[in-house]
Amino acid sequence: MIPKLTRPEYSTTIPSTGKKIKYHPFTVREEKVLMLAAEGADQDEITNAVINCLNTCISSPSDIDVESLALFDIEYLFLKTRSKSVGELISVRVTDPDDETFTTDVEINIDKIGIKKQEDHSPLIKIDDEVSVTMRYPDISFFNTGVNLNTVNSTIEVVGKCIDQIIVGEEVYNKEDMTNEEVLDWVEGLSQKQFNEFTNFFNSMPKMSYTITAKNTNTKKNFSVTLEGLADFF
């Protein structure tokens, strides 16, 4: 039997926790699965390909649950793995927001893409003197739909999915011990001011972001486009 090649191992940290992990680059087999998923443009297939790839490539800790990680963690780890697998440079197609007839390909260095954090952001939301809520960050289940805060109903749904604990005085109510209906009913009972605190949480949470500046050769003017989330880099 032909001996298998030893893949190099790299280390990085999970953005949301700061915990160190070790990982291997993609194999050709894994890269093929990712390419087929991207070509098919099926969001579920892309999601599964990303999760399976990270599960295979992360070597330590062995018990890491990729699907429980924050979406921005997954996006970051995927790009770090990709940079060690097929190269640091990727080409993305961008369109001038002021001239949608102009599109161009821009090459960017993956290692320069990071997670942007706001200093005042916290997963603990204080409702009043007695009540606080701890939040979970959106996970891979939000990859297809994104964090939809466009309507009151969609925002309520997002908040309900991401509540981790409701703390009332010394009592702690865990999400696992409540039904979805109970959580949504509680959220709908908030005042508008209290509800806005949750919107602020999602708007200020860490995100993978990179701003590209390119030149429109038609207008001879530079324009900027900010890429956010894995879909923009996949």
Closest CA to 77 of 125, 127, 10, 134: 10
Residue 103 domain boundaries: 92-115+207-232
* In a domain? residue 5: no
Q: Note whether residue 64 is domain-resident.
A: yes
217 and 111 co-located in one domain? yes
Tokens of 210: 């990179």
Average pLDDT over residues 22-44: 79
**Together in a domain, 97 and 36:** no
Name the more confident of 230 and 222.
222
Rg (CA), the chain: 20
Contact 81, 27 (CB under 8 A): no
One domain for residues 211 and 110: yes
Look at residues 81, 103, 84, 79 and name the one whose alpha carbon lies nearest to residue 92: 103
Indicate whether 105 and 127 sit together in one domain.
Answer: no
Separation of alpha carbons 178 and 157, rounded Å: 15
Are 219 and 105 part of one and the same domain? yes
Read off the pLDDT of each residue in 22-45 and give the average, rounded to a whole number: 79
pLDDT digits (tens, 9 = 90+) for 38-92: 777 777 788 888 888 899 889 899 888 999 999 999 999 988 888 888 778 888 8
Same domain, 163 and 54: no
Q: Please confirm whether the linkage preceding 61 is cis (ω < 30° from 0).
A: yes
Phi-psi category of residue 59: left, alpha or beta, with phi > 0 → left and psi -120 to 50 → alpha: alpha
Q: What is the helix, strand, coil percentage profile of the chain, to 5?
A: 40, 30, 30
State whether 108 and 213 are in the same domain: yes
36/67 same-domain check? yes
Tell me, yes or no, whether 166 and 111 share the same domain.
no
pLDDT of residue 91: 86
Residue 211 and residue 95: Cα distance in Å, rounded? 13
Q: Is 23 exposed, middle or buried (0-12, 13-18, 19+ CB in 10 A)?
A: buried
pTM: 0.81
Q: How many domains does the chain have?
A: 3
Confidence of residue 231 (pLDDT cuts 50, 70, 90): low
Residues 158 and 42 in one domain: no
The residue count of the chain comes to: 234
Q: Does residue 169 sit within a domain? A: yes
Is residue 32 domain-shared with residue 56, that is, in the same domain?
Answer: yes
Q: C-alpha angle with apex 204: 193 to 46, nearest 5 degrees?
A: 120
> Based on the number of CB atoms within 10 Å of its own CB, is 77 exposed (0-12), middle (13-18) or buried (19 or more)?
buried
Cα separation, 117 vs 134, in Å, equals 18
Give mean pLDDT, residues 24-29.
82
Question: In this predicted model, what pLDDT tens digit does every residue of 101-124 receive, in sequence order?
Answer: 999 999 988 888 888 888 889 999
What is the C-alpha separation between 14 and 75, in angstroms, rounded?
A: 11
Domain identity same for 132 and 160: yes
